[in-house]
């Protein structure tokens, strides 16, 4: 979480940037930057198209608990960057690869596998700092500029080939390789990869961002060591992709250590608050990995060391495996060990909801809401309980609020559509079901509900909403 910092901290941050900047002098992108033919405007366009492709083709995590945590951590690091001509935008990709990357235009992507395999928030912050340094230094943009690619499609394919084509053999790699082969030769994609000098510059500037954000500088070295260590414990097909796109860790660890001797000793006493980081790891492990593998992880923890988050993880996994009695026992123990924790209350309420025990689910979710009123997942299940009780006057506004908080989630729009249909609002129902199909990448189903909505649109407001929906389902191709 971003912590409130006194004005003195901002002064220290500025001084740190100034002190460390003597190590190298590399121009960074500003609002007025123009480098040859590949301008900042081009970067923004390319980044937007790439981001659109990622959201259309990759499993983007929409759980607000995870995305908001990552977004706040990215914002904390980005705050220490010089002014950029674009906002820094983050997304989390549901993928076991140990990877993260940033692209021109200020987009940064974190894989769930990276979050899961790091030990501390500060290590994740170090990786984020390094990636944002690549953006600030325009490393990819400069090399694309030299390649003189002729159009946005070839740029997009090359960028995908570099960033996704080395992700350890799963769907990310397949998409990256297909995009590269479909638009440009592999040799040019390889040319786009980071050079040793690029890495050195990004390491040093990323270290500046890390330290200025209040983290221990050793975290960057620790994250690199962990990835290198990980290489020896996995098969060749699952080597951390960060080692493929960011090579030469040994030398990089050495020169980063050399910087430590010039830093104030107080920097090395900094300790990360890992509470939220460990909650996010628990959610990822319990909900987004193979349940048998996740269960083995918790079974290997000595009984004396199991804490409430471990019990929570066990409860989620056991419920996924339909071992409901054991799951309930784990949830109860988690709530006993950490009473009134909003995440535990939410997940326990969610469990009882899936069991059909609304009387048990409702008070838990209500309590979770009182303690964390901006948790969209809690509100989602509260709305569904209201709908189960046919209280559509409460359920529909609650679910609309959830849809505003998480606007591109298929399941949210699906249930909102069902609620509207059951309440007699058939235009609204088909509109929401069309959006659900759209976000679920089911064009045929989206068109079906669009046609139904077209026949039901009567009021001026409905017709205006219909035009927006038509543009989303049948976007006009850009020249």
pLDDT band at 287 (very low <50, low <70, confident <90, very high): very high
- Strand 89-93 with 100-103, pairing: unpaired
* Residue boundaries of the structural domains of the chain: 7-269
Predicted confidence at residue 89, as pLDDT, reads 96
Q: How far apart (Å, rounded) are the C-alpha atoms in residues 112 and 101?
A: 12
Higher pLDDT, 154 or 433: 433
| 431, 418 contact by CB (below 8 A) | no
The pTM (predicted TM-score) of the whole model is 0.83
Predicted confidence at residue 161, as pLDDT, reads 72
For the chain, what is the mean pLDDT? 84
Residue 182 CA, distance from chain mean position: 27
Residue 333 CA, distance from chain mean position: 30
Nearest CA-CA partner of 107 in 140, 142, 153: 140
| 46, 104 contact by CB (below 8 A) | yes
Nearest CA-CA partner of 380 in 365, 356, 399, 361: 399
Share of the chain above pLDDT 90, in %: 64
Higher pLDDT, 186 or 242: 242
Higher pLDDT, 199 or 80: 80
Name 362's bridge partners.
Answer: none
Higher pLDDT, 246 or 371: 371
**Burial category of 358 from C-beta neighbours within 10 Å (exposed 0-12, middle 13-18, buried 19 and up):** middle
pLDDT band at 16 (very low <50, low <70, confident <90, very high): very low
Stretch 141-157: mean pLDDT, rounded? 68
pLDDT band at 58 (very low <50, low <70, confident <90, very high): confident
Stretch 39-58: mean pLDDT, rounded? 87
Stretch 273-300: mean pLDDT, rounded? 96
| 439, 412 contact by CB (below 8 A) | no
pLDDT digits (tens, 9 = 90+) for 134-143: 999 988 777 7
pLDDT digits (tens, 9 = 90+) for 76-113: 999 999 999 999 999 999 998 888 999 889 999 999 99
Stretch 127-131: mean pLDDT, rounded? 95
Stretch 382-401: mean pLDDT, rounded? 98
Predicted confidence at residue 2, as pLDDT, reads 33
**Burial category of 403 from C-beta neighbours within 10 Å (exposed 0-12, middle 13-18, buried 19 and up):** buried
pLDDT band at 246 (very low <50, low <70, confident <90, very high): low
List, in sequence order, the alpha helices (H) in 389-442: 392-405, 410-423, 426-439
| 100 conformational bin, left if phi > 0, alpha if psi -120 to 50, beta if neither | beta
pLDDT digits (tens, 9 = 90+) for 212-228: 999 999 999 999 888 88
β-sheet with 107-111: strand ranges across: 89-93, 107-111, 100-103
Q: How far apart (Å, rounded) are the C-alpha atoms in residues 33 and 24?
A: 19
Tell me the angle at which helices 342-354 and 358-371 cross, rounded to the nearest 10 degrees.
160
Using the predicted structure, report yes or no on whether residue 266 has a pLDDT greater than 70.
Answer: yes
Using the predicted structure, report yes or no on whether residue 3 has a pLDDT greater than 50.
Answer: no
Predicted confidence at residue 476, as pLDDT, reads 52
Q: How far apart (Å, rounded) are the C-alpha atoms in residues 387 and 358?
A: 11
Q: How far apart (Å, rounded) are the C-alpha atoms in residues 422 and 325?
A: 33
Stretch 424-448: mean pLDDT, rounded? 96
Predicted confidence at residue 417, as pLDDT, reads 98
Nearest CA-CA partner of 240 in 301, 170, 296: 170
Nearest CA-CA partner of 360 in 331, 339, 333: 331
Structure tokens at 162: 């570099």
pLDDT band at 118 (very low <50, low <70, confident <90, very high): very high
Q: How far apart (Å, rounded) are the C-alpha atoms in residues 142 and 191?
A: 12
Q: Which of 83-92, 236-245, 416-425 has the lowest mean pLDDT?
A: 236-245
């Amino acid at each position: 979480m971003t912590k409130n910092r006194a004005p003195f901290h901002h002064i220290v941050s500025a001084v740190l940037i100034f002190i460390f900047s003597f190590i190298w002098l590399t121009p960074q992108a500003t609002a007025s930057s123009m480098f040859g033919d590949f301008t900042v405007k081009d970067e923004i366009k390319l980044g937007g198209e790439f981001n659109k492709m990622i959201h259309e083709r990759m499993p983007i995590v929409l759980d607000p608990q995870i995305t908001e945590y990552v977004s706040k951590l990215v914002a904390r690091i980005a705050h220490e960057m010089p002014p950029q001509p674009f906002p820094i935008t983050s997304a989390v990709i549901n993928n076991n690869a140990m990877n993260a990357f940033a692209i021109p235009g200020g987009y940064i992507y974190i894989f769930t596998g990276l979050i899961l395999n790091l030990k501390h928030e500060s290590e994740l912050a170090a990786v984020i700092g390094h990636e944002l340094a690549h953006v600030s230094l325009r490393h990819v943009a400069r090399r694309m500029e030299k390649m003189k690619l002729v159009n946005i499609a070839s740029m997009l394919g090359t960028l995908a080939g570099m960033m996704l084509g080395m992700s350890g053999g799963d769907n990310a790699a397949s998409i990256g390789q297909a995009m590269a082969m479909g638009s440009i030769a592999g040799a040019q994609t390889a040319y786009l990869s980071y050079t040793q000098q690029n890495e050195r510059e990004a390491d040093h500037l990323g270290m500046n961002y890390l330290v200025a954000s209040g983290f221990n500088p050793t975290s960057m070295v620790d994250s690199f060591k962990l990835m290198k260590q990980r290489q020896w414990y996995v098969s060749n097909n699952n080597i951390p992709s960060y080692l493929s796109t960011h090579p030469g860790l040994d030398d990089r660890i050495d020169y980063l250590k050399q910087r430590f001797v010039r830093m104030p000793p107080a920097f090395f006493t900094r300790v990360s608050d890992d509470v939220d980081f460990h909650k996010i790891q628990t959610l990822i492990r319990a909900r987004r990995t193979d349940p048998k593998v996740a269960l083995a992880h918790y079974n290997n923890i000595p009984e004396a060391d199991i804490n409430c988050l471990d019990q929570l993880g066990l409860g989620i996994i056991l419920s996924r495996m339909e071992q409901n009695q054991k799951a309930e026992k784990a949830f109860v123990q988690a709530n006993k060990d950490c009473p009134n924790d909003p995440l535990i209350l939410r997940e326990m309420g969610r469990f009882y909801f899936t069991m059909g025990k609304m009387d048990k689910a409702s008070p838990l979710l209500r309590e979770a809401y009182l303690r964390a009123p901006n948790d969209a997942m809690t509100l989602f299940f509260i709305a569904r309980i209201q709908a189960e009780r046919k209280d559509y006057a409460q359920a529909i506004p609650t679910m609309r609020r959830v849809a505003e908080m998480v606007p591109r989630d298929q399941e949210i729009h699906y249930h909102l559509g069902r609620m509207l249909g059951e309440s007699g609002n058939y235009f609204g129902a088909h509109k929401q079901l069309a959006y659900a199909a759209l976000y679920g990448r089911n064009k045929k189903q989206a068109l079906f509900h669009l046609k139904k909505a077209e026949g039901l649109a009567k009021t001026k407001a409905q017709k205006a909403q219909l035009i927006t929906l038509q543009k989303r389902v049948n976007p006009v191709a850009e020249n």
